[in-house]
Amino acid sequence: MSSRPIDEPHRVSSQLELLFDLTFVVAVAAVTAQFAHGIADGHGLSELIPFLQVFFAIWWAWMNFTWFASSYDTDDVLYRVLTMVQMAGVLVLAAGVPAAIGRSDLGIITLGYLIMRAGLVAQWLRAALEDPASRRTGFRYAAGIGLVQLGWLLRLALVAAGVVPASFQLPLFVCLAVLELAVPRWAERERATNWHPHHIAERYGLFTIILLGESVLAASRGVEGALESGQISGPLVVVAGSGLVLLFALWWLYFLIQAGAGLSDRRHRSYWWGYGHYGIFAALAALGAGLEVAVEQSGHQVAASPQAIGYAVAVPVGVYLALLWAVHALAVAEPVISVAAVVGCVAAVLLLPLGTPWIGVAAVVALVAAICVVLVAVTLWSAAVAARAGAQDRGPRFTDSRES
């Protein structure tokens, strides 16, 4: 197991990586569905923190495997077996989502997370033993990940024993999460890993599409629940259609730039770029839950107020737009999306739910989608104007008569 070249041509996601992502489809679907139930029952705010905690475990496990694979994907028997171990951990984690969000029971979640991390530690130990040039980096990763896992187990034991009061559980989680985020930075102080910028950009793009797909699935669950009433209403059609347009616009905005080239020139920004995607991915998952409830309430009554449902759609979109601009700014010299346009759209999106009691949830979802469509149109128009201006500045190319 040796490091793969940074400039390896035609580097794309392997079949194993795509199979690995399927297990995360299950985990994300579970956490999205559970959060949607909480929103519908009127407990969206109280279940927001558990949702973000569980999603952190899902995202961090996916992210660690992705960056390791970008550097050390040998695709041999041992590599495949250890990857399968991590996939098994994801499925265990997904099984524990209802208990974690509904009853704050983190036992199954921690077990699944431990299985995933054990597989990754074994991968890093193998890399350390078989790649002498990066030996210290591999051992640092294995040691750092292993020690933090002991911290998660200790936290679980203390909470189960009643030693840690409820008010200290969240700060303890934040401390352990910060330690998790610090491991890569500390491990690569000796020698940076050979992650492939275009491969990483593709992997993040694929996970974005997975989360957009989860939003489609969540909205379809809402349609199914609404249709149980036996009638198709106008608000149901509006919310379902607007939700699809909204997701398409968000997809369009994400892929306005090719992040691979930017990461290749700005490898030192990769930490912020990669970590910033936690908010983007979590916002897309939360949006799926909000759309599910918005569609469902158009067919029958739910406990949540219309204004709360409006915010469940608008807030994730606002967070997504703001963080997407920041992530794009890290990858390119000049952001494609204007900061003024983003600020204006975010402000408009977050103000819309205030009018939900008068215009209704369907109108709010439709207007949020319309704002995102306008942002896409303005961005494309600005890019076209800039391209024409650049062509005029270069002027016509005069050729010699012999060349003609």
Taking alpha carbons only, the member of 54, 72, 85 closest to residue 1 is 72
Residues 60-94 as b or e (16 or more Cβ within 10 Å = b): bbbbbbbbbbbbbbbeeeebeebbeebbebbbbbb
Is 56 domain-assigned? yes
The answer on pLDDT for 6 being more than 90 is no
Clarify whether residues 189 and 101 are in a common domain: yes
Q: What was the pLDDT predicted at 398?
A: 47
Clarify whether residues 189 and 115 are in a common domain: yes
To the nearest whole percent, how much of the chain has pLDDT over 90?
Answer: 54
Clarify whether residues 79 and 162 are in a common domain: yes
Q: Is the pTM of this model over 0.85?
A: yes
Least confident of 74-88, 303-317, 366-380, 381-395: 381-395
Clarify whether residues 166 and 310 are in a common domain: no
The answer on pLDDT for 403 being more than 60 is no
Q: What was the pLDDT predicted at 87?
A: 93
Residue 115 belongs to domain spanning: 7-195
Q: What was the pLDDT predicted at 226?
A: 63
Gap between the Cα atoms of 303 and 315, Å rounded? 19
Please check whether residue 85 is in contact with residue 115, taking contact to mean a CB–CB distance below 8 angstroms.
yes
Domain boundary residue among 137, 166, 195?
Answer: 195
Over the stretch 97-133, which tens digit does the pLDDT of each residue have?
A: 888 877 777 788 889 999 999 999 999 999 999 999 8
Q: Is 71 helix (H, G, I), strand (E, B) or coil?
A: helix
Clarify whether residues 79 and 150 are in a common domain: yes
Domain boundary residue among 141, 176, 195?
Answer: 195
Is 250 domain-assigned? yes
Q: 210 falls in which pLDDT band (50, 70, 90)?
A: very high
Over the stretch 226-281, which tens digit does the pLDDT of each residue have?
A: 666 666 677 888 888 898 899 999 999 999 988 888 888 888 889 999 999 999 99
Please check whether residue 62 is in contact with residue 328, taking contact to mean a CB–CB distance below 8 angstroms.
no
The answer on pLDDT for 148 being more than 50 is yes
Taking alpha carbons only, the member of 299, 303, 338, 228 closest to residue 36 is 303
Domain boundary residue among 171, 195, 219?
Answer: 195
Is 401 domain-assigned? no
Residues 151-162 as b or e (16 or more Cβ within 10 Å = b): ebeebbeebeee
Clarify whether residues 177 and 287 are in a common domain: no
251 vs 332, higher pLDDT: 251
Q: What was the pLDDT predicted at 191?
A: 87
The answer on pLDDT for 402 being more than 50 is no
Gap between the Cα atoms of 80 and 85, Å rounded? 9
Please check whether residue 349 is in contact with residue 317, taking contact to mean a CB–CB distance below 8 angstroms.
yes
Gap between the Cα atoms of 195 and 312, Å rounded? 36
Structural domain total, the chain = 2
Q: State the average pLDDT for the chain.
A: 88
